[in-house]
Amino acid sequence: MLTSLTRRLQRKLNLPHDVLFKTAPVLDPQSESVEQDHPEQQYLNLIRHILKMGTTRTDRTGTGTISVFGSQSRYSLRDGTMPLLTTKRVFWKGIVEELLWFLRGSTNAKELSEKGVKIWDANGSREFLDSLGFTAREEGDLGPVYGFQWRHFGAEYTNMHADYTNQGVDQIAQIISTLKSNPNDRRIILSAWNVSDLPKMALPPCHCLAQFYVAKGEVSCQLYQRSADMGLGVPFNIASYALLTHIIARLTGLKGGDFVHTTGDTHVYLNHVTPLQKQLERLPRPFPKIEIDFPEETPFWELKAEHFKLIGYDPHDAIKMDMAV
């Protein structure tokens, strides 16, 4: 029996039941293109679970979502593996440039935009900032978001142009130092969730806390993400924290272990259901590898995109999905 929420969802999307709850394609056991236990199936199966068991909810953007609460997946980073989704092409340049932007401590959306990465443009727009009451803030100034918290936690935020050198806690430097000196420490935490700064942010952090763990010469990372947009955000977040873990492994003389992704409100936006159904029909391909090459003395805040080379990425075509703002 269909629930009333499901019936309303079908009417809203104008989708028949067999399309909304389409099952996974039958895999040929002899197929060389994909293994049935491919780690990307965790992502695809979670989407299927949300569409089948989730609750329709209103949200901040007014778009509407289908949501479940709580999920966990695990991706191996061993041998340079990069868990970049293959059932659609993911914007690798955007992932790299955004992460390096975080590591520099920047909160200026225009810096990314000038590199062709527009993912923060909407949240830094004049219209959006004004809607939050930041009428005196310069366009592009996102407030004390990820980069500021990673590099200057606890400092007083003024604007995106200020020099915050030696202000607050540099969590990234602290993590690298602790991994070298006391790798068994259970407090190797990266937090972007600073309650006192939330009212100043253009967007509170969705991926808000990560913990690093060392065993047998491997460093692993577990991310807690309070709000997980399965269509657009999660593919980015998986790859971004996997890349961060690879970078930290390189800087500490360790090897990559696992990336564990734990999510809270785990949702599919209503306008993403149809494109995600298209993605669910595709079979995953082997994950690519990452090669990292930079001089040993390079500070992490001076890393550049050319220091990272993606090897063997052969995804399916891109699938367009609109961002909810």
Of 206, 232, 238, 260, catalytic: 206
- At residue 85, what are phi and psi to the nearest 5 degrees? -55, 145
Report the DSSP beta bridge partners of residue 309. Answer: 291
CA–CA–CA angle 264, 247, 210 (5° rounding) = 25
**8 Å CB contact between 44 and 235:** no
Residue linked to tokens 């407030």: 143
Determine how β-strand 218-229 pairs with β-strand 255-269: parallel
CA 266 to CA 268: how far, in whole Å? 7
Q: Where are the beta strands (DSSP E) in the chain?
A: 55-57, 65-76, 189-191, 207-215, 218-229, 255-269, 289-292, 308-311
Query: What's the sign of the alpha-carbon dihedral 106, 111, 117, 123?
Result: positive
- State yes or no: is 208 an active-site residue: no
Give the dihedral of Cα atoms 81, 87, 88, 93; nearest 10 deg. 0
Which residues are part of the catalytic machinery?
206
